[in-house]
Amino acid sequence: MQRQSEGAPRNRTDIHTLEAVALAATHSAAMASHAWVGRHDKDAADAAATDAIRQVLADAPGRGTVIIGEGEKDEAPMLYNGETLGNGLGPDFDIAVDPLEGTKFCAKNLPGALATIAFAESGSLWSPGPGFYMDKIVVPPQAKDVVDLTDSPERTLHKVAQALGKPVSELRVVIMDKPRHQKLIARVLQAGAAVHTPAEGDVGGSLEVLLPTGNADLLLGIGGTPEGVMTAAAVRGLGGGMLGRLAPQRDAEADAIRAAGMDLDRIYSCDELVSGDAFFVATGISGGSLLSQPRESDGTVLAESLLISSGQVRHISHTTFGSLPRMAGLPS
């Protein structure tokens, strides 16, 4: 149920009046962090993106609450959980945000860095509390009813392959290249599937699974809870399937989750992670198969964004006069 406050009438369509704000926020973050592409300072890039998003959201026509922000688990710059933004003259809404997904990609000038955000009706985004990590499965719509997070990787591969009408040997699986995934990657390879192992960026990996133009069939493994909730907004919009379960990576995190009264064995569906009307936005920073990096052309700056909402995928081109932001003190 959406919170009510004084001002304009609230209804389920209100959230979509904020799409332009979300696009402006990720575009601003992409422009700010682009100056740090290839400079091997991921925290500075993250801080630039965070400041840019916060400035845009401060003037949003409504009252947004950050339900889940990125950065706390890494002690990086962040929009903090519970932070409120906006001018109050519009709908209340929930925010899940990662101003710079793929900080290492940005720092090392590798493809895949994105500015990402999701807006949802007030009260509809799941809060992970002190949980920073979650185990996830993301699949396209054809396989959404067959997956179970308690299945073995081999059984999951078999069921997804059957749902997609292809042999396991033709499946393309995204699993982040982390030490915690070594055994999972080995089992998936042994089962015959191909594995794409990005260093980070499970939102981008999930989009490769969900989008018709994507290059993957399934995402498995443990990633961040902020990325999980934002992914769920995209999954909900595109009719895909997703399951998640808290997966603490340190004893202190597990103890905090239990102290908060949360069940480490509970499996959350996509509709539990995002229970109301929502949309997801991403803007490209360092390029890649999903979105191009911002670039200059004939006195203008071109950038690309993706908006996923209510069964629709929109690719948006931003064209502004001028040049890309540059770091102070560096030659033009």
From first to last of its 332 residues, what are the pLDDT tens digits of the chain? 333 333 333 444 478 889 999 999 999 999 999 999 999 999 999 999 999 999 999 999 999 999 987 645 445 456 878 889 999 888 899 999 999 999 999 999 999 999 999 999 999 999 998 999 999 999 999 999 999 999 999 999 999 999 999 999 999 999 999 999 999 999 999 999 999 999 988 899 999 999 988 999 999 999 999 899 999 999 999 999 999 999 999 999 999 999 999 999 999 999 999 999 999 999 999 999 999 999 888 888 899 999 999 889 999 998 877 666 765 544 44
Give the pLDDT confidence score for residue 78 in this predicted structure: 67
19 labelled ligand-binding:
no
DSSP-derived 3-state class of residue 108: coil
Residue 11 CA, chain-centre distance (Å), reads 25
Give the pLDDT confidence score for residue 323 in this predicted structure: 64
Q: Are 197 and 175 in contact (CB under 8 A)?
A: yes
Q: Are 135 and 220 in contact (CB under 8 A)?
A: no
What is the rounded distance in angstroms from the CA atom of residue 264 to the CA atom of residue 261? 9
Residue-wise DSSP of 65-102 = EEEEESSGGGT-S-PPTT-EES-SSS-EEEEEEEEEE-
Residue written as token pair 């903090």:
80
Give the pLDDT confidence score for residue 9 in this predicted structure: 36
Amino acid letter, residue 44: A
304 labelled ligand-binding:
no
What count of other Cβ atoms lies within 10 Å of the Cβ of residue 311?
9
227 labelled ligand-binding:
yes
Give the pLDDT confidence score for residue 281 in this predicted structure: 97
Residue-wise DSSP of 123-144 = T-B---TT--EEEEEEE-GGGT
Give the pLDDT confidence score for residue 319 in this predicted structure: 82
Q: Which residue, among 25, 22, 32, has the nearest Cα to 294 in the 3D structure?
A: 32
What is the rounded distance in angstroms from the CA atom of residue 309 to the CA atom of residue 325? 30
46 labelled ligand-binding:
yes
Please, how many CA atoms are within 13 Å of residue 257, restricted to the half-sphere of its CB? 22
Domains within the chain, CATH numbers bracketed: 14-123+279-321 (3.30.540.10), 133-274 (3.40.190.90)
98 labelled ligand-binding:
yes
Amino acid letter, residue 236: R
Give the pLDDT confidence score for residue 298 in this predicted structure: 81
